[in-house]
Each structure stands twice: as C-alpha cells, then as structure tokens.
Amino acid sequence: MITVTKGESESAESLIRRFSRRVVQSGVIREAKSQRYYRKEINKNQRRKNAIVANQYRARRAASFTKQR
C-alpha cells in the first residue's frame, strides 16, 4: 500500500503529483493491467511455431519494401 503524508507548506497539487509518481514507480498500474485479462499459457512447440511464422512474415515485408525502393 502506498502512503504519502502532506508536508506543512505543501500544496494539494504537489501531494497528488508525488503520490502519482510513487504509484507509477511501484508498478501497481502495470501489474493491474497485466492481470486484467486471463491468458492461457501456450506450450513450447506452439511458441516456436508462432515465432517461425512471425519471422517469415517479417522477412516477406522486408523483401517487399526493398523491391519498392
């Protein structure tokens, strides 16, 4: 849990800014976004197949860009 205490001469805006900075630095928002949807684990073979297809797609795109120039 993130807590911030207000200083004697600190304005509300600077307190909110300091709190926001601490929330971002702690990674709370990033963790919440990553847990937003459930993703099923894929096995090693499927991951490998996906990587091969992605590399082929990138190679095709790179070849088409070099042909256009």
Inform me whether the pLDDT recorded for 15 exceeds 80.
Answer: yes
Which pTM was predicted? 0.50
Position 54 scores a pLDDT of 97
CB 23 within 8 A of CB 2: yes
Across all residues in the chain, what is the average pLDDT? 91
Confidence of residue 2 (pLDDT cuts 50, 70, 90): confident
**Domains of the chain by residue range:** 1-38, 42-69
Sequence-ordered list of residues with C-beta below 8 angstroms from that of 53, at least 6 positions apart, any chain: none
